[in-house]
Chains A and B, each alone.
Chain A
Amino acid sequence: METVKSIGIDAGSTTLKIVGVNEKGKILFSIVEDADPKVEEQTERVLNKLKENYDIESSKIVATGYGSNLIKADKKVTEITCHAKGIYEYFKTGGTAVDIGGQDNKVILISKNGKVIDFIMNDKCASGTGRFLENTAWRLKIPTEKMAELALNSDGEVKISSTCAVFAESEVISHLSRGQKLEHVIKGLHRAMVKRITSMIYAVGFNPPLMLSGGVAKNKAVVKMLEEELGEKPMIPENPQIMGAFGAALIGLSQ
């Protein structure tokens, strides 16, 4: 049974991410689940299940995310520090890390030696976050993962002017009722989201390379459009969703 030196738990608003690393910081396992309302019970259940295959008795636990208050951990750190750590260790370079999560977007400037120089998060508004696409997908009864495909294959684009996740929904419906093609509208929706993220990136000052994390980084249309808007090909980890939890686990190693 392999010994897990440190476990990082990222209890986000939409998903729960758990990553275990060995003493060298190598990822031993990673788990991503939809977040339960009772995240502390969910975490305990996942950790108990892990005990079947791993030795986690002496593992350090570092928690981050909105649900981290409820989780028993050796240390609690913000998502900013965890994402910066995870991304920096993964790519071994400073630059601009962009995490597009379910409810929060973060743009983090990382120095050459891995220190957070500056960060910005969306304010009390979920425009441009994962929820923006999820809401519309749900309203249109399209699986979220199909949204990107529709946008990528679209031969046209409708301008969506509202960046409000709630108002965009009614704008989408009104475009459709006026006979606009579904894929054109969905592509426009992606564009609105990407423009919002781009403006956040410029607000802290873009410093290449661009490194993406968070669930939305798996959306190929978002990635392509970010490249179009910024003129820079984003670097994406194999599993972008777990970068915060990975960073948390790495922080645990130095505890």
Chain B
Amino acid sequence: MDVKDKIKYIFSYKIAGKLLIELNTKKAFKNFKPPKNWRTDILAPPLRTGVYTKEIIAKHYLEGRYVSGVKPVAWVTSGAPIEILKALGFYILYPENHGALCGARKVALEISEEAEKKGYSIDICSYARTDIGATLSKKTPVGKLPKPDLLLCCTNICQTVLYWYRVLAEYYKVPLIVIDTPFVYDEAKKHDIEYVKKQLEASIEVSEKVAGKSLSFSKLKEVVRLSKMAAELWLEIMNANKNKPAPISVFDQFIHMAPIVEKRGDPETVDFYSKMLDEIRERIKNGIGAVKNERKRVLWDNLPIWYKIRFLSEFLAENGVSVVASTYTNAWGELAPMMDIERPIESMAKTYVYPILNRGTGHKLKTMETMVKEFDLDGAILHSDRSCKPYSVGQMDQRLKLLNELGVAALLLEADHNDPRAFADEQIKSRLKAFMEMMD
């Protein structure tokens, strides 16, 4: 550890940076009011506890600016089993989350063009392009990303990550851990779980070597416990939308899910979701819906369209349509019951084999059908995401089944989660409008 790095880290992040962010949060919480151009005529004000989302993310990226040389840094895929790394004291960066942030701030295109200039095809996932572009050009809206000391890639979300992380390993010349998760068609076999468990065990040695210390089993149990607690709270927040009107729209969930992805395993994340759940319960008690005049309730399938969240939220809310459930935000809550604090490695192996993207299309259909019934939905919007083939495959049939078997309106919406060039404004508007007219 470099002493200069450490002093800089302590001063700029631990003392001054954190303090400044916390002061800002306190001020924002106390004088809470919606942003100037917030459509209060059609939407409830943003959640007041949302100021803590900002705080957690701001701290996370601020720490990232000064963390190199102080803590080991790992870059990981969104579905990676991070509990071991967390217990070893790694600073963990999620390139996909950083990509989403670039998308929401509308700079993803500029950054992914940096990758395209170097020959990466526009047919590659727009998260991968944004990340590789940010790596090559150092462009990022968060100031600076810390270089990885270790890469952890888990194939439970797609196969693209395998090639993407090989590019990163080649570029940064750091070890790459691959956790290969067999695809689950129906139920995972015993040997599937065993296979993942063995890989997790083998990864400990590599991670320990990079971290320069040994894994404490009790620490790992604690991380798993906190991870599970946060995921359970997140699930409870999402399930609160079974109430009418729904207190938190899926578009809000897209924003407030950042800590459950990026900071699970931290005690602050548990506290944060606990506070958010209180506010949501308060909303339910007072009959406040995320969309004023909620007339129709629909679900969202697939990744968000990060650069159009505001537009979509308002366009639908203008017609009293509230998006109340989503397979995507659900993915970070549905697996919580599988985590077992007493058997951390084994339960991690099971948990990380079962994400929605590692399961057959029939499972996703079942998830949506359950949502339609439990959340009492009128329709479904299936975002056919050009960048995410594993999520989009099967949607043609899923759409027809929802329509024919459950009788709900269902729309396939062609776009891309991070590449605005794949979003045709007028076409999307006309399809959404026709979808809403169909529900009336």
Residues in chain A within 8 A of chain B (CB atoms):
66, 77-81, 104, 116-121, 123-124, 203-205
B414 touches A124 (CB 8 A): yes
A123 touches B414 (CB 8 A): yes
Q: Does B433 contact A (CB under 8 A)?
A: yes
Interface positions, chain B 386-435, Cβ under 8 Å from A, are: 396, 400, 403-404, 409-410, 412, 414, 422, 424, 426-427, 430-431, 433-434
A79 touches B430 (CB 8 A): yes
Further 10 A-B residue pairs, CB within 8 A, beyond A118-B410, A124-B424, A205-B404: A79-B434, A81-B438, A116-B437, A118-B409, A119-B434, A121-B427, A123-B414, A123-B427, A124-B422, A204-B400
Nearest CB in chain A: distance from B67 CB, A: 41
- Which of B409, B410, B427, B430 has a CB less than 8 Å from the CB of A124? B427
A81 touches B434 (CB 8 A): yes
- Which of B384, B422, B437 has a CB less than 8 Å from the CB of A80? B437
With A118-B403, A123-B414, A124-B422 given, is the CB distance from A80 to B434 under 8 Å? yes
Residue with the highest number of chain A CB atoms closer than 10 Å, among B400, B403, B438: B438
Q: Is the interface of A mostly helix, strand, loop or mixed?
A: mixed
Q: For B422, what are the chain A residues with a Cβ–Cβ distance below 8 Å?
A: 124
- Which of B403, B424, B433 has a CB less than 8 Å from the CB of A78? B433
Residue of A nearest to B413 (CB): A123
**Alpha-carbon distance between A96 and B433 when the two chains are bound, in angstroms:** 20
Nearest CB in chain A: distance from B296 CB, A: 15
With A66-B426, A203-B396, A205-B400 given, is the CB distance from A121 to B431 under 8 Å? yes
B438 touches A119 (CB 8 A): yes
Nearest CB in chain B: distance from A134 CB, A: 19
When each residue 42-61 of chain B gets 1 if its CB lies under 8 Å from chain A and 0 otherwise, what string results?
00000000000000000000
Nearest CB in chain B: distance from A104 CB, A: 8
**Alpha-carbon distance between A79 and B427 when the two chains are bound, in angstroms:** 11
Q: For A203, what are the chain B residues with a Cβ–Cβ distance below 8 Å?
A: 396
Nearest CB in chain A: distance from B63 CB, A: 40
Residue of A nearest to B439 (CB): A116
B437 touches A78 (CB 8 A): yes
Size of B's binding interface in residues, CB under 8 A: 19
Residue of A nearest to B412 (CB): A120
**Alpha-carbon distance between A127 and B55 when the two chains are bound, in angstroms:** 48
B414 touches A81 (CB 8 A): no
A81 touches B437 (CB 8 A): yes
Q: For B403, what are the chain A residues with a Cβ–Cβ distance below 8 Å?
A: 117-118
Interface positions, chain B 233-255, Cβ under 8 Å from A, are: none
Residue with the highest number of chain B CB atoms closer than 10 Å, among A77, A117, A124: A124
Residue of B nearest to A204 (CB): B400
Nearest CB in chain B: distance from A96 CB, A: 14
Residue with the highest number of chain A CB atoms closer than 10 Å, among B409, B410, B431: B431
Q: For A77, what are the chain B residues with a Cβ–Cβ distance below 8 Å?
A: 437
Residue of A nearest to B407 (CB): A117
Nearest CB in chain B: distance from A128 CB, A: 15
Q: For A79, what are the chain B residues with a Cβ–Cβ distance below 8 Å?
A: 430, 434
Interface positions, chain B 318-361, Cβ under 8 Å from A, are: none
Residue of B nearest to A79 (CB): B430
Interface positions, chain B 216-273, Cβ under 8 Å from A, are: none
A-B CB contact pairs (8 Å), 21 listed: A66-B426, A77-B437, A78-B434, A79-B430, A80-B430, A80-B438, A81-B437, A116-B434, A117-B403, A118-B403, A118-B409, A118-B410, A119-B438, A120-B412, A121-B430, A121-B431, A123-B384, A124-B422, A124-B424, A203-B396, A205-B404
